[in-house]
Amino acid sequence: MLLSIIIFIPFLAALFIPFIHKKIPNKHIGWVVLVVPLFLFIALCKYITAIANGETFIHTIKWIDSAGINFTTYLDGLSLIFGLLITGVGTLVILYSIYYLSEREAIGRFYVYLLIFMGAMLGVVFSDNLMVLYVFWELTSISSFLLIAFWYHRKMSRYGAQKSMLITVSGGIGMLSGFIMLHSMTGSFSVREILTMIGGFTDHKLFVPAMLLVLLGAFTKSAQFPFHIWLPDAMEAPTPVSAYLHSATMVKAGIYLVARFMPIFGGEAIWFYLVSSVGIFTLFWGSFSAVRQTDLKALLAYSTISQLGLIMSLLGIGSAAYASGIQTQSILYAQATFAALFHLVNHSTFKGALFMVVGIVDHELGTRDIRRLGGLMPLMPITFTIATIGSFSMAGLPPFNGFLSKEMFFESVLHMRNLDVFSVGAMGSLFPVIAWIASVFTFVYCLIIVFRTFFGDLKLERDDRPIQEAPVGMLIAPSLLSLLVIGIFFFPNVIGQYILKPAMAAVYPSLSNSEELIPHISAWHGWDYFPLIMTVGVIVIGVVLYMYLRYWKKVYTVTPLTWNLDSLYNAILMKSEKGAATITKTYMTGQLKDYLVYIFGFFIVLIGGMLLWKGGLSINFENDAPITVNEYIIVTVMMGAGIALLFVGSRMTAIVLNGVLGYSIAILFVIFRAPDLALTQIIIETVTTALFLLCFYFLPEWSKEKSTTFSKAVKGAIAIMVGSLVTVIALSVQGNRMFDSISTYFENAYELAGGKNIVNTILGDFRAFDTMLEVVVLFIAGVGVYTLIKLKGRKEGQDVEDK
């Protein structure tokens, strides 16, 4: 039960923030919001010991039970890691944002969006039901859209928000299709239940498509190549948003999805090749692209893409454990997943600190342009220290936590050379090479962050803007993250035993009893440890490349490298908008006659064509009553009035002829001995005629449209076909009854509802809610019309005053 409460607390807080914001000064609202993630983090910490001992917690709230959709929360080692990151980093981000955001900003709205996002992320990682998970998944995209576009007056903020929304939501829709396929195969929406029965469906025709669609959702959300292009543009968001969404939480949702579904799809070669290959290439491309950036935030964006690729590639390698029949080798491959989870935690610490450092530099100097920075170390010593710790941890240097997980990464890719499943072959030898090259570029851009920003000559004039260290409050959050970076290096096995071990048990339930699955994390393995040799090579080559950066950086101007996916995205978006506008202008002519042609034409083709195809047009007159002379006369009058309506030139005459049709129907009801219907028809017809007269009185003079002979012929043909089709359908329905009529139920209206008038009883009792809602709709429409009229009158009066 507590898990469900934990998910909803941020949403409830977001609901009350606007009201609290009005009662207290702007600068205090952040302190109120800070209580929410701090409380949630403490609440989740209480589960650590129990989860480490192998317990899991599940709670179900009935929702749409008939469809198998219930609000089921599930807490195990894997979801606990993400829950702690969401709430822990969220606490520090809110603390940081209190000092970062100006009181003049719409900070109430900012915290509402941030809390909605926090609740959505918690819903993603704690949901066991696929449909509920999808709802929260898309809610993270919506809330991140609002956060990225927080400064909506900026064009690039709107552009970045739109871009992230289009890409991540598109992937989410694909993921939803995969979830539906899984349900179609297994009959369940529960991840736990699907895991227990999926073994019998691996040969199902929907198994591979479901896998690919789930990966599509994961890759788009975690900014994997080629879907990574949304993340750099999302950096237009305020720095606290970047530190939270794009380094510790939202982009990790795809990582969570891959880890969670590894027990379902992990034994398949397609899963292994896609996850590992996409991940390793994303690692290389992100690190290679980061070096060319001149904006610190853009550099960190590409570094995030690169690090996410590293984690994704490790999860891909770890999935080989499900295909290996040898227990020892399975454990060896599974340790790659351990490295992925370890680096997941490490990345959240050092990348969160680095984003906050960039925010401090931008906040104090007013620029993030590397070309304008330099010489800040003596002026901002604490910021420099935090930046050094974060950058060197990301570069994989001791004594920082990134060194430990980077060494484990090197060890895992080296094991690819001996992988005996999926016919890896030469590809296994290519992985260590790509990983090493990408690490060299990672080392280079880490040196750029430290040395180009804090060393060298001071390029900014002090007279223009005083350069000083950030306020203490703004330094607390990145300082705590930096302390974690160092603390994890010296005490890594604490996290290994209490956090990572239960997470591994969730990813590998069949191997969870093996102690070898959880390696002892050590900073030193001897000089003959090959990953250490690779690290030394990274340092040496990285330093050389950094020293000669200005010479070889020209490689980025080579033509193939200037062709990028952003240009392709913009071209597709522009072409789509132009195409949509062209199509819309084709049928949105502003003429009612054209719209009627579309509607009736669609009706003729779809309904008439389907009835002909299925042989549904069969007329049977055997059970029909004979037609009397009175009925022939009334029908003839109605036909005459209907035809005459087409040729009259006066509104008054048209209204009278329309009334003839309505009152003739009332006479038919009398002949058919239905006085209730006749009375109702007379009342409605009278009111309708009065309304017509009232409305037409205010309309301009009626001028009949001049139509060509061809236009008249088309309209006539459509009218005849629609009339004929409706008549034939009515006769077919009358002559072919597949089920007993429900009218016998309403014949007992007096006994069931106490009304003698069946029509009134149906409207007022049997379908009272429908009638009420119809009245509400009419009321809303009337209010809207009245509002538009008043606004138009006010605007015209204002225009007169202006003149």
Does residue 633 form part of some domain?
yes
User: 674 with 786, same domain?
Assistant: no
User: 696 with 780, same domain?
Assistant: no
Count Cβ atoms within 10 A of the Cβ of residue 275 and give its class: 0-12 exposed, 13-18 middle, 19 or more buried: buried
Tens of pLDDT, residue by residue over 276-285, are 999 999 999 9
pLDDT for the residue numbered 499:
93
Count Cβ atoms within 10 A of the Cβ of residue 28 and give its class: 0-12 exposed, 13-18 middle, 19 or more buried: middle
Of the segments 24-28, 175-179, 239-243, 612-616, which one has the largest average pLDDT value? 175-179
Residues in Cβ contact with 467 at an 8 Å cutoff, skipping those fewer than 6 apart? 364, 365, 376, 379, 380, 458, 460
Residues in Cβ contact with 479 at an 8 Å cutoff, skipping those fewer than 6 apart? 382, 386
User: 802 with 723, same domain?
Assistant: no
Does residue 437 form part of some domain?
no
In the chain, the percentage of residues whose pLDDT exceeds 70 is 94
pLDDT for the residue numbered 467:
80
Query: pLDDT at residue 725 above 70?
Result: yes
User: 733 with 595, same domain?
Assistant: yes
Query: How big is the CA angle at 256 (ends 252 and 262), to the nearest 5 degrees?
Result: 145
User: Taking residues 473-491, what's their average pLDDT?
Assistant: 95
pLDDT for the residue numbered 535:
93
Residues in Cβ contact with 290 at an 8 Å cutoff, skipping those fewer than 6 apart? 299, 302, 303, 306, 441, 442, 445
The tokens describing 610, both together, are 């389907």
The pLDDT-based confidence of 686 (bands split at 50, 70, 90) is very high
Does residue 777 form part of some domain?
yes
**Cα-flanking dihedrals φ and ψ of residue 291, to 5°?**
-65, -30
Looking at residue 496, its amino acid is G
pLDDT for the residue numbered 358:
94
Does residue 706 form part of some domain?
yes
Instruction: Note down the domain range covering 798.
Output: 767-803
Tens of pLDDT, residue by residue over 312-324, are 999 999 988 887 6
The pLDDT-based confidence of 407 (bands split at 50, 70, 90) is very high
The tokens describing 437, both together, are 């090259």
The pLDDT-based confidence of 25 (bands split at 50, 70, 90) is low
Tens of pLDDT, residue by residue over 547-576, are 999 888 888 887 666 568 888 888 898 999
Least confident of 305-319, 321-335, 339-353, 579-593: 321-335
More confident residue, 673 or 158: 158
pLDDT for the residue numbered 557:
81
User: 705 with 772, same domain?
Assistant: no
Residue 94 CA to residue 111 CA, distance in Å, equals 8
Query: pLDDT at residue 514 above 60?
Result: no
The tokens describing 637, both together, are 């009058």
pLDDT for the residue numbered 728:
86
pLDDT for the residue numbered 779:
92
Residue 532 CA to residue 524 CA, distance in Å, equals 9
Residue 372 CA to residue 366 CA, distance in Å, equals 11
Tens of pLDDT, residue by residue over 592-631, are 888 888 899 888 998 888 888 877 777 777 777 788 888 8
Query: pLDDT at residue 539 above 50?
Result: yes
Dihedral, CA of residue 739, residue 745, residue 747 and residue 751, to nearest 10: 170
Residues in Cβ contact with 627 at an 8 Å cutoff, skipping those fewer than 6 apart? none
Does residue 700 form part of some domain?
yes
In the three-class reduction of DSSP (H, G, I as helix; E, B as strand; rest coil), residue 96 is classed as helix
User: 662 with 625, same domain?
Assistant: yes
Burial 682-700 (b: 16+ CB within 10 A, else e): beebeeebeebeeeeeeee
Residues in Cβ contact with 135 at an 8 Å cutoff, skipping those fewer than 6 apart? 123
Of the segments 169-183, 550-564, 737-751, which one has the largest average pLDDT value? 169-183
Q: How many domains does the chain have?
A: 2
pLDDT for the residue numbered 512:
52
pLDDT for the residue numbered 800:
45
Does residue 630 form part of some domain?
yes
Tens of pLDDT, residue by residue over 426-480, are 777 899 999 999 999 999 999 999 999 999 888 776 555 678 888 898 999 999 9
User: 642 with 705, same domain?
Assistant: yes
User: 673 with 796, same domain?
Assistant: no
Q: Evaluate whether 74 touches 57 at the Cβ level (below 8 Å).
A: yes
In the three-class reduction of DSSP (H, G, I as helix; E, B as strand; rest coil), residue 397 is classed as coil
User: 660 with 773, same domain?
Assistant: no
User: 745 with 656, same domain?
Assistant: yes
Residue 722 CA to residue 786 CA, distance in Å, equals 36
User: Taking residues 201-213, what's their average pLDDT?
Assistant: 92
Dihedral, CA of residue 475, residue 476, residue 479 and residue 485, to nearest 10: -140
Residue 648 CA to residue 572 CA, distance in Å, equals 52
Q: Evaluate whether 116 touches 10 at the Cβ level (below 8 Å).
A: yes
Q: Evaluate whether 417 touches 262 at the Cβ level (below 8 Å).
A: no
Query: Across all residues in the chain, what is the average pLDDT?
Result: 87
Tens of pLDDT, residue by residue over 55-87, are 999 988 888 887 888 899 999 999 999 999 999
Query: pLDDT at residue 803 above 50?
Result: no
User: 799 with 676, same domain?
Assistant: no
Does residue 16 form part of some domain?
no
User: 791 with 654, same domain?
Assistant: no
pLDDT for the residue numbered 305:
95
Residue 742 CA to residue 735 CA, distance in Å, equals 16
Does residue 713 form part of some domain?
yes
The pLDDT-based confidence of 327 (bands split at 50, 70, 90) is low
Residue 73 CA to residue 61 CA, distance in Å, equals 9
Q: Which of 523, 525, 532 is nearest to 491 (CA)?
A: 523
Residue 516 CA to residue 326 CA, distance in Å, equals 14
